[in-house]
Structure 1
Amino acid sequence: MARTTPLDPPSDVPLDPPEADERPLYWRIASLLLGELRAGTIPPGERLPGERDLARHFQVSRETVRQALELLRRDGLVATDRRGSHATLPGRPVEDPVSLTFPVGARPADPCAVDRATVTWEEPPPEHARALGLAPHRPTLVHRYRSATPDGRSLRTAVTSFSAVALAEVAELARYRDRADGNTPAQLRRAYDWMRRAGLALHHRDAITQVGDASSVRVTRRVHDQYARPLEITDLVVHAEQDALVYEFTLPAAG
């Protein structure tokens, strides 16, 4: 492993001068990382990978990465808080998804439907515990959603279990533990937005299966982050004589 030089760069020297190859290793790594940030590999405001991942990516030591990040911080190109380091280069922010609502299958605001959502701190269903990598009998935050039309012809029920990673990374979710009594209303429609603001890239997989007769379907959504860590799993059951689940996907234009 290449040795690093103590971090003491003169403040008036540009980060990526022509003779960059003659600079200390941490300086060259800072320049490489800056190039990736400028290329948009990591959008402005998004969290950078951890020091271990960056060290593996650039094939250097974590100390070298730490020094490179400190150099970028001194130039105002990276900011660090308790949730990690974030790119602060000017640029177009990541847009909020307009179609990924929580939980899966939640209706838009409908004055005719009666909605109820609560949270509890309890042992999740066994299949949820396995999907989230939770130890047997370990409690977690469980969200329950129920939406029914007055005529009773359409009923949607959803149960969501959150992983230990989601509760550790997303402060807004963790705060619900103290009021997870199963009675207090808890609309978590912004749950995915909270996850993204915590620096988590969301990957979701929805599986649709028929339940019993043709009028009922089950949708199982599994969400994990950019490190393949599970974040949540939701089981939605739709009982309807005449109803439809509509999925919308928006892809930004290139460039």
Structure 2
Amino acid sequence: MARTTTPHQPASTGDRPLYARVASRLLDELRDGTIPPGERLPGERQLAVHFEVSRETVRQALEMLRRGGLVATDRRGSHASLPGRPVEAPETLTFPVGARSADPCAYDRATVIWETPPPEHARALGLAPHRPTLVHRYRSVTPEGRSLRTAVTSFSAVALAEVVELGRYRGRADGATPAQLRRAYDWMRKAGLTLHHRDAITQVSDASSVRVTRRVHDQFARPLEITDLVVNSEQDTLVYEFTLPAAG
């Protein structure tokens, strides 16, 4: 009797179907930290290219990991759910990075407003001319009112659409209501966005201040925000402090 086979049966090694081997390889990448716990996984198309298999095979592999409680899926995509350091780790950067003065007597003033951003911000964020967005204005001042640091941040349409907590500010962004947004980067990461920061430091023309221009984009190279931070270098020192976890 002739032997029959099921069409499109995945190739296997031994008794393991292809999707199970892909699930195992993906699990290895989750465990070694290539994709941190809680972060959004690449899309099916990207995973298919990465593992050199079909999207259907990737879909089956993800379903296998979901059944094992190793991957969770919601409307924003699939996320690694292995035990590990949570997304909102203690060392998460406080927004806006570097804006707070080392002067123990300094205090903060911050507001948000819905307005047309500076032209250079609009270009960096891919916004059409004169299109308003959420703009955060920050000042660190002495008790006498002398400005030590100022920061102006404009958020992109992507950030406002995908980060619920930021989007909620649109209705109350009147330029007067206090709004620190210290956890903005936590909110972005919780929304499944991987943050890439790029800072450029230049001397301001009067030579008494320095300007830090920070651009942040996500894992898909979409702009999220741009910040211009100005520090009075005669009165203050710009210090960046961060912690990298030990390997393994």
- TMscore range, shorter length: 0.7 to 0.9
Tell me, yes or no, if the aligned pair for 2:196 and 2:218 is still in contact at 8 Å. Answer: yes
Question: Pairwise mapping of residues 70-109 of structure 1 onto structure 2 (< 5 A)?
Answer: 70-93=63-86, 96=89, 98=91, 100-107=93-100
Q: Residue deviations 1:8-53, cap 9 Å, x none?
A: xxxxxxxxxxx75554433332222122223322122222112221
Counterparts in 2 of 1:208 and 1:78: CA distance versus 1, 3 Å: same
- The CA distance in 2 between the partners of 1:54 and 1:95, in whole Å, is 26
| TM-score, length basis structure 2 | 0.86
The Cα shift of 1:144 comes to 0.7
1:221 to 211, 214, 217: 214
The Cα shift of 1:110 comes to 6.8
The Cα shift of 1:207 comes to 1.3
**Corresponding residue SS for 1:35:** helix
Equivalent residue, structure 2, for 1:43: 36
Counterparts in 2 of 1:4 and 1:72: CA distance versus 1, 3 Å: farther
What value does the CA root-mean-square deviation take over the aligned residues?
A: 2.5
- The CA distance in 2 between the partners of 1:33 and 1:98, in whole Å, is 27
Question: Pairwise mapping of residues 102-121 of structure 1 onto structure 2 (< 5 A)?
Answer: 102-107=95-100, 112-121=105-114
Question: Pairwise mapping of residues 102-251 of structure 1 onto structure 2 (< 5 A)?
Answer: 102-107=95-100, 112-239=105-232, 241-251=234-244
Counterparts in 2 of 1:233 and 1:252: CA distance versus 1, 3 Å: same
Q: Which stretch of structure 1 is more off in the superposition, 94-103 or 133-142?
A: 94-103
Q: Percent identity?
A: 84
Unaligned runs of 5+ in 1: 7-18
Counterparts in 2 of 1:121 and 1:62: CA distance versus 1, 3 Å: farther
The Cα shift of 1:97 comes to 6.0
| TM-score, length basis structure 1 | 0.84
- The CA distance in 2 between the partners of 1:237 and 1:4, in whole Å, is 61
